[in-house]
A and B are shown apart, each in its own frame.
Chain A
Amino acid sequence: MQILTGNDLKLLAISKIYLATFAIVACCTLLSFLSKDFLTEGDVAMIYLLGVVAVSSRFSWMHSITAVFLSVALTNFLFVPPFYTFHVENIRSVITFIVMFIVGTVVTWLSVSLRKHNEEMKIKEAEKTRFMQQNEENRIRSEKEKLKNDLLSSIAHDLRTPLSSISGTASVLLQKMNDIKDDTRSDMLKTISDEAFRLGRLVENILNITKLESTDFVVKKVWYPLEEIIGSAVSRVEKLYKDRELRISIPDEMIMIKVDPILIEQVIINLLENAAKYSFEKTSITVYAEVSDNLVVVGVVDKGPGVKETNIPEIFEKFQQFRSNSDMNSGSGIGLSVCKAIIKVHKGLIFAENTPDGFKVAFSLPFDETFKPEEVI
C-alpha cells in the first residue's frame, strides 16, 4: 500500500483526471486487499475490471489503458503468489493477466467509442435545435417587424386626424380672430379641446398596447368589486358623451373579481367609447354584467348600425375598422385590439354580436377563484 501511496503522490501534479483514475484503482486495490482472504485471483481481476469500466466511462482511453496496466501490475504484485514481487509461479495467473488485459482494452474501446458517438449525436442535436431556434427567431422577428410597421402607420394615421383638426381650427382662430362670431368661436375652441382630449386617450391606448406586448409585462391582479370598475369607467366616459343615456345593469350581489383594475377599466372605457362613437346621438348605451358558475361576463350594447356578420371576427384585429357612419368620428382601429390584448392576459375571451337589442361587445373572465373575505381579515 505504501508504494501505491507514493506513486499517487508523485503523479498528483500530472492531472486531476489521472489522480481520479489512480483513486479508482486504489479503491479496487483496497477493496481486494481487505477481502483477499475470501477472493480468488479471478475475483480480484473482476474487481479491477470494474474499476476500468468506471474509468473508461468517464475519462479518455489513455486513462483507461493506464488503469488496465496498473490493474494487471497490482494484481500481479499484491494478489498473485509470490506476493510483493512481479514473478509469476503459475501459468493460470498468466492467463488471468492476459484475459484481464484483453477485457480491459475491449471495455475501454467500447466505452470510449460509445461516448464519442453520443457526443457527436448531442452536437448534431444541438445544431439542429439551434437551427430551428434561429428559424423561429427569424420568423418572430419578421412578424414583430410587420406588427411594428402596421402599428406605426396606424398610429400616424390616428394621430394625424385629431392633430389636423386642432392645428387647422387653431390657425383659423388665430388668423380671423375678430371676424368670427362669438358662438362659432366658442364652437371652434370646443373642437380644439375635445380633439386634444381624444388625442390624449389615443396615446393612452398606444402606451397600453406597447406595455402589454412587451415580453416582461406581468399582469398584477388584485381583488376588486366589479361595480367599482364599471362605475369608474362610466363616470369617465359620461363626461364626454353627455347626449347619450348610459344604463347600468349589474347583479345586486357584490361581485369580486381578481384583475388588474386599471386595465379592465380601460377595456370598459374603450367599449363605451366605441359604442358612443358608432351609435346615433341621443340613443342609449347599456353596460351589463352577468355571473354564471365560473364566468363573469361584462358587455356593452349600443343602438348603432352594428357590424356586418362576416366582419365580426376581424374587428378585434389591429387596425381594422368596420364601423363607420358618414358624420360620425372616424375611429381608431386600436381600441378593440387593446381590449383583446388586455382580456388575453387575464385569460378571458372577448366577442361581439349583432343582437335584437343592438350591437354587443362583451368579454368574459374566469370566475373560479371565489373571493373569501376571511382571507383578508
Chain B
Amino acid sequence: MKHTILIIEDEKPVRKFLTAGLSTSDYKIIEAEKGHEGIVLATQYLPDVILVDLGLPDIDGIELIREIREWYKASIIVISARWKENEKVAALDAGADDYLTKPFGMNELQARIRVALRNNSRTGEFRKDGFVFEKEFLKVDFESRSVFINSEKIHLTPIEYKLLSVMIKYAGKVVTHRQLLEEVWGGEKGEDFNQYARVYMAHLRRKIEPDPAHPKILITEVGVGYRLTTD
C-alpha cells in the first residue's frame, strides 16, 4: 500500500521539487499551499506523514502543528531555516516529530520520512518483552536491562540507562532537551535544567561511543537536542 504524504508549503518551486523527489518512491503526495487548506486535507486523507514549512502566509506554523496534533497521531516533519533554532525547538515541543533544515537534499528527506513511517508503525510496540535494540557496536537487551558494547557488557547508572532507552524509543527522531528531561526526570523543568540533560548525555556518550567527539550513534543537534541515528 502506498503511504500518503501531505506537503504544506506555500512556495511552489519547493512543493514542485518535493513532489518530484518523493513521487518516484512509493508515496502518494497531496499538496497544500496554505495552512488552513492543509488542516482540511489532513482531516480528509489522514496522511502517514505531514511535511510542514514553518513560514506559511495564513497561519503560524507552531499554531498549525498544535492544532493538527490535537487529533492527528502520525508523524509531522517540520521544514525550517537553520538559523531559527528557537523555532525548531518550539515546533518540536508543540508536537512535531522531526525537522529538516533548509537547504536539504532529497536523501536526507527520504531518510527522515522512512524514520517517520517506522515510528508510526512501532507506536506501542516498544518495550515488549524480549525487545532487543542493536545498532553497530551497541546492543541493548530490555528484558535483562543490559547494555553491550562490542558484545561486552557495560555498566550504566539508572539515569543513563533511562536516557538511552528514551533515545532508542525515539530512534531516528530528534529529541529536544526538554523532552528528554520530561521523559527521564519527569515534570516540567526550567530552561536552566537543559544543561543537566547535556551533562548526563555527555557521560552516557563517553560510555557508549569509542570517540565521544565524533559520535556514531548519539548525535548532537546543537541548540535543539539529540538524535539516535538509524541509518
Q: Which of A180-223 contact B (CB under 8 A)?
A: 193, 196-197, 200, 204, 207-208, 211, 222-223
In the bound complex, what is the Cα–Cα distance between A227 and B220 (angstroms)? 10
Q: Please tell me if the beta carbons of A225 and B198 are within 8 angstroms of each other in the complex.
A: yes
Complex contacts, B205 vs chain A, CB 8 Å: 227
Chain A nearest CB, measured from B172 CB (Å): 16
In the bound complex, what is the Cα–Cα distance between A240 and B199 (angstroms)? 29
Out of A200, A207, A235, A265, name the residue touching B103 (CB < 8 Å): A200
Q: Please tell me if the beta carbons of B198 and A227 are within 8 angstroms of each other in the complex.
A: no
Q: Which of B181-213 contact A (CB under 8 A)?
A: 192-196, 198-199, 201-203, 205-206, 211-213
Q: Please tell me if the beta carbons of A376 and B199 are within 8 angstroms of each other in the complex.
A: yes
Out of A197, A228, A233, A248, name the residue touching B211 (CB < 8 Å): A248
Complex contacts, A376 vs chain B, CB 8 Å: 192-193, 195-196, 199
Does A229 touch B at the CB level, under 8 Å? yes
Does B223 touch A at the CB level, under 8 Å? yes
In the bound complex, what is the Cα–Cα distance between A222 and B194 (angstroms)? 9
> In the complex, which of the residues B195, B211, B213 has the most CB atoms of chain A within 10 Å of its own CB atom?
B213
B82-112: CB near A (< 8 Å → 1, else 0) gives: 1101000000000000000011010000000
Complex contacts, B220 vs chain A, CB 8 Å: 228-229, 231-232
Does A335 touch B at the CB level, under 8 Å? no
With known contacts A204-B83, A376-B193, A232–B202 Cβ distance under 8 A:
no
In the bound complex, what is the Cα–Cα distance between A208 and B203 (angstroms)? 32
Main secondary structure of the interface of A (DSSP, over half): helix
With known contacts A231-B214, A234-B214, A235-B219, A377–B196 Cβ distance under 8 A:
yes
Q: Please tell me if the beta carbons of A193 and B105 are within 8 angstroms of each other in the complex.
A: yes
Chain B nearest CB, measured from A249 CB (Å): 9
Nearest residue (CB) in A for B211 is: A248
Q: Please tell me if the beta carbons of B195 and A222 are within 8 angstroms of each other in the complex.
A: yes
In the bound complex, what is the Cα–Cα distance between A224 and B211 (angstroms)? 18
Q: Please tell me if the beta carbons of B214 and A248 are within 8 angstroms of each other in the complex.
A: yes
In the bound complex, what is the Cα–Cα distance between A231 and B205 (angstroms)? 12
In the bound complex, what is the Cα–Cα distance between A321 and B223 (angstroms)? 31
A360-377: CB near B (< 8 Å → 1, else 0) gives: 000000000001010011
Complex contacts, B198 vs chain A, CB 8 Å: 223-225, 228
Complex contacts, A262 vs chain B, CB 8 Å: 83, 85, 222-223
Complex contacts, A207 vs chain B, CB 8 Å: 83
Q: Please tell me if the beta carbons of B222 and A261 are within 8 angstroms of each other in the complex.
A: yes
In the bound complex, what is the Cα–Cα distance between A197 and B211 (angstroms)? 28
Q: Please tell me if the beta carbons of A223 and B83 are within 8 angstroms of each other in the complex.
A: no
Q: Please tell me if the beta carbons of A232 and B83 are within 8 angstroms of each other in the complex.
A: no
Complex contacts, B83 vs chain A, CB 8 Å: 204, 207-208, 211, 262
In the bound complex, what is the Cα–Cα distance between A223 and B198 (angstroms)? 8
Chain A nearest CB, measured from B124 CB (Å): 32
In the bound complex, what is the Cα–Cα distance between A192 and B69 (angstroms)? 37
Nearest residue (CB) in B for A253 is: B206
Q: Please tell me if the beta carbons of A228 and B202 are within 8 angstroms of each other in the complex.
A: yes
Does A230 touch B at the CB level, under 8 Å? yes
Does B55 touch A at the CB level, under 8 Å? no
Does A256 touch B at the CB level, under 8 Å? yes
A interface with B by C-beta (< 8 Å): 193, 196-197, 200, 204, 207-208, 211, 222-225, 227-235, 248, 250, 254, 256, 261-262, 265, 371, 373, 376-377
* 8 extra A-B contacts, CB within 8 A, seeds A207-B83, A211-B83: A208-B83, A225-B198, A227-B213, A229-B220, A232-B220, A248-B211, A250-B213, A376-B196
* A–B complex contacts, Cβ < 8 Å, 6 sampled: A224-B198, A225-B198, A228-B220, A228-B222, A231-B213, A262-B85
B interface with A by C-beta (< 8 Å): 82-83, 85, 102-103, 105, 192-196, 198-199, 201-203, 205-206, 211-215, 219-223
